[in-house]
Structure 1
Amino acid sequence: MVFITAWLLVPRNSVWPSAGVTDIVGRVLADAMAPILGRPVVVENIAGAGSSVGAGAFLRTPADGHTLFLGTNNQAVMKTIYPQLPFDPMADFQPLALVARQPFVLVVNPAVPVRSVPELLAWLRQKRDAANYGAANPGGSNHMAGVLLQQKAGVDFTIVPYRAAAASVQDVVAGRLDFTIDSPTMILPLLRDGQLRGLAVSTDAASALVPGLPSLREAGVAGYDMTVWQILFARVGTPPEVLAVLQAAAAKALAEPAVRQRLAVAGCETWPDAGPQAAAALLASEIARWSPIVAAMNIMP
């Protein structure tokens, strides 16, 4: 029997009005894996550069399975935007499990005179650079969601940089920004309170996690598809017997109904196939997909 005390590193975003989605997913997973492993799983949030600081800290830990990393979509684009980063997700990260996925939600301030995606696109074509979109960190999930909208819909707008996505959502509520695309964890309470107006979700099809909204593709933005995800990683070089224990623990945790319910409350769902092979395939496909988009849109740090 291999005994493991795990230390889970989670990229941190500023908290407003609730914990960020990756932090929530990490804590749900840690709570579920601890009794399975028979050891505590301590969550450490590390902020900076769209999770690159956390990834760098992870790569400085021993490859023994004691420290794990909860990676996100950011890992698919950061090496293209920051080529000087001292790590390569494909070469240095060992996928253990696909943990969760979620749609992002396109929202506008209620004062913006649109109630549908076609109306928003017409308004953006009229306003052009005068329309403001809030996003955090070049390469962050909500930044890439906006870039993808520019590319697929052929519209221009100003992307206003923020240190954290939560602050940009706050400024959409306050009317200092016109719109954004971000996590249902932050967005759904604000939709229910009428502080924001939802227009669409970012996934290829409508999502039961955000009822009543079409997908951007369904609303007329051909080719738009962005699923936000979290993958649990160990270090490449971790002993196979340790990887086997961690993979089994993650799979057992993600199969628990209570875990799925906690994730659903946060606007997330598990994957039909959450295994390490599926996680590795997703990471590879996302890097292949996003690298040319980053290059075409000339995204710079």
Structure 2
Amino acid sequence: MLTRRAAALALLATPAVAQSRSVRVVVPFAAGGVIDVVARILAEPLGRELGQTVVIENMPGAGSVIGARAVARAQPDGNTLLLSGAAHAVIPALYPDAGVDPVADFAPVALLGQQPFVVAVHPSLPAQDVPGFLEWLRGKAGQARFATTGIGAASHLAGELLKQLAGVEFEVIPYRGTPQAVTDLVAGRVDFMIDSQTLIAPLMADNRVRGLAVTTSVPSALLPQLPTLQAAGVRGYESASWQALYAPAATPAPVMERLSNATRAALSDANLLRRYAEAGVQPLPSAAVPFIAAEQARWLPILRATGARGG
């Protein structure tokens, strides 16, 4: 029979209570995009609630697969987490042999937030509004160039939804990260993109891009002058960038409860909410599991219909 001391030492050695000085949060995209922005806003208040330092590690590549795989294979002790978005939900469509399942291999900790995308065009385009833009796209007969932060990323999915609902075609130009895509849009090497209002709003203010609409069903508080795509004539259109925090699937229930409680507390932090508002990020109070399941059910058929595969 174990002595009380031996039993205590054995318990401390289990993943259920293992705690290092730091928590590694893997962001499976390059720095500079909205998911990275949310991760860095969350890091300080989450670390304070956990009593640990939260370290953000960007691990881009193969869509979001490389980062997701690293977290799925990590020790399930609460010290390695994944912060990702819509791309995580569509891994099976793009990378059927990825060796990682976005549902079976992960336990959602919490939804973190969502943000409207902006349809933004280079100022050289003649389109001044959404109807004019759609007319211009149809005239280009599939030759317009659409920048996205990667096949399967939320920005790409937003573009594919526009194709489907507006009956337009265009060439998809994938980039390794948002900053590279924005650079090429400003330079006129691509015609338009659908991406974070945090990144697009300053470019609009400097007249380096022209914003035409937001992608959510209600107007943006950050850019109230822009109509929604629905109001501008694309019936049924709604998409947004959302972010969620995940742990490896085998993470014990007490650890998951600790992570969930700490994340909820961090999301109510006044400074975090202020920084969210400045970045145009809205809290997302929905329950994580049904929300993510619904997003996967929504986007997988759209992506599979394109025949797209991850490179």
* Larger radius of gyration between Structure 1 and Structure 2: 2
Q: Which runs of 5+ in 1 are unaligned?
A: none
> Take 2:55 and 2:180, find their aligned partners in 1: how far apart are those partners?
27
Q: Structure 2 CA distance, aligned partners of 1:13 and 1:181? A: 17
Q: Which residue does the alignment assign to 1:289?
A: 298
Give SS of 1:90's match: coil
**Who is 2:29 aligned against?**
12
Pairing of 1:233-244 with structure 2 (within 5 A): 233-244=246-257
Aligned partner of 1:209 among 202, 211, 222: 222
Partner of 1:180: 193
Distance 1:120 1:152, change over 3 A: same
> Residues of 2 paired with 1:169 and 1:210: CA distance?
18
Higher mean C-alpha displacement, 179-188 vs 158-167: 158-167
Give the corresponding residue for 2:120. Answer: 107
Cα displacement (A) at 1:185: 2.2
Q: Counterpart of 2:274?
A: 261
Aligned residues: 293
Query: Which of 138, 141, 157 lines up with 2:151 in the alignment?
Result: 138
Deviations 1:105-151 (A, max 9, x none): 10011110011101101111111222111123211122111111111
Runs (5+) with no aligned partner, structure 2: 1-11
2:161 paired residue among 148, 156, 174: 148
- Contact 1:217 1:225 (8 Å CA) reproduced: yes
> Contact 1:209/1:268 (CA < 8 Å) preserved in 2?
no
1:1-31 deviation per Cα after TM superposition (whole angstroms, max 9, x unaligned): 95744221112325xxxx3211121111111
Alpha carbons 1:134, 1:165 under 8 Å: kept: no
Q: Deviations over 1:231-255 (max 9, x none)?
A: 0111111111111111100000001
Counterpart for residue 219 of structure 1: 232
User: What TM-score, normalized by structure 1, do the two folds share?
Assistant: 0.93
2:138 is aligned to 125
1:150 aligns to what SS in structure 2? helix
User: What displacement does 1:300 show?
Assistant: 2.4
The answer to whether the 8 A contact 2:33-2:178 is kept is no
Query: Do 1:20 and 1:185's aligned partners in 2 also have CA atoms closer than 8 Å?
Result: no
State the partner residue of 1:70: 83
What RMSD in Å do the two structures reach over aligned CA positions?
1.6
Q: Distance in 1 between matches of 2:50 and 2:139?
A: 57
Q: Do the aligned residues in 2 keep the contact of 1:204 with 1:224 (CA within 8 Å)?
A: yes
Counterpart Cα distance in 2 of 1:218 and 1:232:
32
TM-score by structure 2 length? 0.90
Query: Moved runs in structure 1, 4+ residues, more than 3 A?
Result: 1-5
Is the Cα–Cα contact under 8 Å of residues 142 and 165 in structure 1 kept in the other structure? no
**Contact 1:3 1:37 survives alignment (8 Å):** no
